[in-house]
A and B are shown apart, each in its own frame.
Chain A
Amino acid sequence: MEFVLIFFVLVSIVVFVLGIFFYRRSLKLKKKLEEERKNMQRKMYELAILKELGERIGYSLNVQNIIDIITGSLHQFIEYQVVSYMLLQPEKVIFKIHLEESVSRKFIKDIKTRMLKSLSALLNKEFSESQVEEVLTGAVIIDEIESPVQSFFNIPLVIGEKVVGVLTVAHSNPGLYKEEETTILYKITRQASEAVTRLQDVISNEQKKLSAMVESMSEGVVMTDNDYRILVANPAMKQILHIEKEEITIFDFIDNLEGKFDIRGKLEESVKLDKILPVTEVLLDNRYFHILVSPVKVNSGINKGDIIGGVVIFYDISKEKELEKMREDFTSMMVHELRSPLTGIKGISEVMILENKKKKRAKKDAEYATVLLESSSRMLDLVNDLLDVSKISAGKFEIHKEVLPIKDFLKTNVEILSTLAKENKIDLKVSIAKNVPEKVFLDKNRIGQSLINLLSNAIKFTKEGGSVTVQVMSHNKGESIVKEGQENNFSWFIDKDKEEFTNLSSSLFIAVTDSAFGIAEDDIKNLFNKFKQLEASVRSEHKGTGLGLSIVKGIVEAHDGIVGVFSKEGSGSTFYFAIPFETNVIS
C-alpha cells in the first residue's frame, strides 16, 4: 500500500513538474509569438511609411524639399519634441527647426550648438554662427520650460558619398533613442539619399551629354540663371569674347562686349517678355554675329513653364556677309560696266537724232541712230530691271514714301503711255471711284513704275481697237472687293473674292484691265516668278525681259500690299495691286 502511495505521489510530482514545465514553455512561446507579431506589424508599418515617403519624394531633386518631406513624416514613428536639420549651401548653412512641442530658447540653442559641432566634425571644417540661416516652425517657444535636452540623435545626410547636412531629433525625456529608433532613421535617410544619388547620376549623365554637345558647338552659347549667374559658357563663346579664365561672371561678358551688345539688358527683356529676341549683325573683332536671346523654361513637372534663366547664342555670320558683299559688288560692277556704256550709246544716238532733224544729214545716218537708240534703250531697261530684281531678292529694296495727290499721280503716269496707246490704236481709259482720298502716302517713283509696268504690258498684248482701263478705288477692310467693284460700276475680270482679300487692310486698290487674249490658268502661277519669266522671254515674240511683274510684286510687297491677276481666256485680264492705307492715308 505504502508503495502504491509513494508511486502515486511520485507520478503526481512528475506530472506537476511536467505541467509547470509545459505551461511555462507555452507561455514563453506565446510571448515570443506576440513579439513576432508586433515586430511584423512594425515592419509592415515601416515599409508602408518608407513606401509613402518614397512616393512623396518622387522625382524631386531638391534636397531641401526631400528633407522637409522626411521631417514632416517622422513623428509617425519616432517620438521627439524637436526635429531639425542643417543643410549646407554655398556660403551659408540652412538651419530649419520644427517644434513638435514647446521648448525653451536654451533648448534650441543647445541643439544648434550640437548640430554645428557634428557638422564641423563630419566635414572637418569650422562653421560660424553668422553663416547659419535659421527658420523656426511649429509650437511656440516657452522659456519657462526648463527641461534640458536629454535624448538627442544626430544623423548625417549623405548624397552620393558627400555629406550635405545633418538631421536631428531631440527630447527632454531621457533614454528615448535606442537601436530601434535609430535604425529606422538610418533607413529613411539612406533611402532618400539613395534615391537622390540615383537621380543625380541620371541627371549628371544627361548633363554630360548636353554639355558635350554645347561644348562642341561652333556657335557661342551662354546660359544664365535669373540672377545673371553664368551656368554654361562654351569654348566657342569664350573664344569669341577672348575670355580665358574658368570662372566667369556676367561682368566679363559686359566688359568684353564693349557696349556693342547689351547682354544683360537683352536677357532681362527676353525673360520679362517671355520672348525670343533676335539681334542682327553685331560686329565684334571684324566678325559679324547674329545673336539670339531666349528665356529658358522648365518644360515638365509641377514648375512647368517657369522661367529659370536665359540663353544667348552667337552665330557667326561673317561668311554669309562676305558672300553677300561679293554678290553686291558683282551686281554693282555688272551694272556699272553695262549701264555706263549703254547710257553713253543712248545719249550719243539721241544727239545724232536731234542733230539730224536740224541739219538734215544723210537719211541712212538717221536710221542707224534710231536703231542704236532703240537697242540701247532696251538693254538699259533690262539692266535696270535686273538691278531692281537683285535688290528685291537681296532685301535691299528701299522705298521712299511721300504725300501726294492721287489724281495728279495717276494722270502723270497714264500720260506717259498715252502716245504708245494711240500708236497701237488702243482706247486708254481711267476711272477713279468717289471714295478715293485726295492724298496718299507712297513711293511715287516706285508705285508709278508699277503702274507703268502693268499698263505697258496691257498695251503690248492688246490688239488694235482694243481697250485698256485703269480703275482705282478705296477698299474697306472686310468688304467684298467684287461688291465694291460693282458699286463703282467697274467692269473688270475680278469675279470672286480671293482668300487674301478677306485679310486685306483698308487699301488703295488699283486695277488695270485689258481686252487682250487672256492668260491660261497654268501660266498664271508663273507670272510673278522672275526665273520662269526670264525663261519665257527668251522664247517670246514680245520684247522685254518679263521681269516687270516680279518687280511690281517686289515694290507692292515693300509697301505691305498684295498683287495678283484675274483672267478669262479669250477675253482679257485684270492685273491689280492694293497698297494698305494704314501707313498711307493722310487725314
Chain B
Amino acid sequence: MVKKILIVEDEKLELMALVARFKMENFKVFEASDGEEGLKIALDEHPDFILSDIMMPKVTGIEMITQIRQSGEWGKAVPILMLTGVVEAESISKIVEQGVHDYIIKGAMNMDDVVKKVNDKLSGK
C-alpha cells in the first residue's frame, strides 16, 4: 500500500526538493508551507508520517504537533520527524518532549538520511 506523508516546510526550495524526493520514493505526498495549512491537511488526511520544519510563520511546527497529538487516536500515534536549524541541546529536548520521535539538524541534512529515517520508522525498525 502506498504510504501517505505530509511535508511541512516554509522554504520553497527545500519543500520542493523533499516533495520531489519522496514522490520518487513512491510516497503519496501532501505538502504545506506553514503550520496552519499543515494542521488542516493532517487532520483531514491522517497521513502515515509527518515531516515538519519548526520555525514557520503563522503556526510553528511545535504548536502544530501539539495540536495533532491532542487530536485523538491517530494524532497520538502518527510518527513525526522534525527538521531543525537549532542545535542547542535545550531546544532539542523541548522538541522531544513534544512527542516527536526523531529530529534532523538541517545543517547536517542529507536527503538519503531523511529517506532512510522515514522508511526505517515506517517498517518498524
Q: Which of A74-82, A188-196, A270-278, A341-349 contacts B (4 or more CB under 8 A)?
A: A341-349
Q: Contact at A340–B106, with CB atoms within 8 Å? A: yes
Contact residues, B15-48 vs A (CB, 8 A) = 15-18, 20-21, 24
Q: Contact at A384–B17, with CB atoms within 8 Å? A: no
Q: Is A262 an interface residue (CB 8 A)?
A: no
0/1 per residue, A138-172, Cβ < 8 Å to B? Answer: 00000000000000000000000000000000000
* Chain B interface category by residue count: 10 to 19
Q: Is A387 an interface residue (CB 8 A)?
A: yes
With A343-B106, A347-B111, A348-B17 as contacts: A354 and B24 at CB distance below 8 Å: yes
From A345, A348, A355, residue with most partner B Cβ within 10 Å: A348
Q: Contact at A347–B107, with CB atoms within 8 Å? A: no
0/1 per residue, B87-105, Cβ < 8 Å to A? Answer: 1010000000000000000
Chain A contacts of B14 at CB under 8 A?
A: 340-341, 343-344, 347
Chain A contacts of B21 at CB under 8 A?
A: 347, 350-351
A387 contact from B15, B18, B24, B107, Cβ within 8 A: B107
Chain A contacts of B109 at CB under 8 A?
A: 343
**Nearest CB to that of A336 among chain B residues?**
B85
Whole-angstrom distance between the Cβ of B33 and the nearest chain A Cβ: 13
Contact residues, B75-125 vs A (CB, 8 A) = 85, 87, 89, 106-107, 109, 111
Q: Is B2 an interface residue (CB 8 A)?
A: no
Chain B contacts of A355 at CB under 8 A?
A: 24
Chain A contacts of B85 at CB under 8 A?
A: 332, 335-336, 339
Chain A contacts of B11 at CB under 8 A?
A: 340-341, 343-344
Q: Is A398 an interface residue (CB 8 A)?
A: yes
Chain A contacts of B89 at CB under 8 A?
A: 398
Q: Contact at A347–B24, with CB atoms within 8 Å? A: no
* Chain A interface category by residue count: 10 to 19
**Nearest CB to that of B111 among chain A residues?**
A347
In the bound assembly, the distance between CA atoms of A339 and B15 in angstroms comes to 13
Main secondary structure, interface of B, reads helix
Q: Is B13 an interface residue (CB 8 A)?
A: yes
Chain A contacts of B111 at CB under 8 A?
A: 346-347, 350-351
Q: Is B58 an interface residue (CB 8 A)?
A: no
Chain B contacts of A341 at CB under 8 A?
A: 11, 13-14
Whole-angstrom distance between the Cβ of A529 and the nearest chain B Cβ: 24
In the bound assembly, the distance between CA atoms of A336 and B54 in angstroms comes to 13
Q: Contact at A347–B20, with CB atoms within 8 Å? A: yes
B12 contact from A344, A351, A354, A398, Cβ within 8 A: A344
In the bound assembly, the distance between CA atoms of A350 and B13 in angstroms comes to 13
In the bound assembly, the distance between CA atoms of A413 and B106 in angstroms comes to 21
Whole-angstrom distance between the Cβ of A524 and the nearest chain B Cβ: 31
Contact residues, A32-86 vs B (CB, 8 A) = none
Chain B contacts of A346 at CB under 8 A?
A: 17, 111
Whole-angstrom distance between the Cβ of A505 and the nearest chain B Cβ: 27
With A340-B13, A341-B13 as contacts: A347 and B87 at CB distance below 8 Å: no
In the bound assembly, the distance between CA atoms of A321 and B16 in angstroms comes to 38
0/1 per residue, A263-284, Cβ < 8 Å to B? Answer: 0000000000000000000000
B24 contact from A332, A335, A336, A351, Cβ within 8 A: A351
Q: Contact at B18–A347, with CB atoms within 8 Å? A: yes
**Nearest CB to that of A445 among chain B residues?**
B108
Contact residues, A330-384 vs B (CB, 8 A) = 332, 335-336, 339-341, 343-348, 350-351, 354-355, 384
Contact residues, A232-257 vs B (CB, 8 A) = none
Contacts A/B (CB < 8 Å), 29 sampled: A335-B85, A339-B85, A339-B106, A340-B11, A341-B11, A341-B13, A343-B13, A343-B14, A344-B11, A344-B13, A344-B15, A344-B17, A345-B13, A346-B111, A347-B13, A347-B14, A347-B16, A347-B18, A347-B20, A347-B111, A348-B13, A348-B17, A350-B111, A351-B17, A351-B20, A351-B24, A351-B111, A354-B24, A355-B24
- For the complex of A and B, the 5 pairs showing the least CB-CB separation, nearest first, are A344-B13, A347-B17, A340-B11, A351-B20, A344-B14
Known: A340-B13, A343-B17, A343-B106. 15 other contacts (CB 8 A): A343-B11, A343-B14, A344-B15, A345-B13, A347-B14, A347-B16, A347-B18, A348-B13, A348-B17, A350-B17, A350-B111, A351-B17, A351-B24, A351-B111, A387-B107
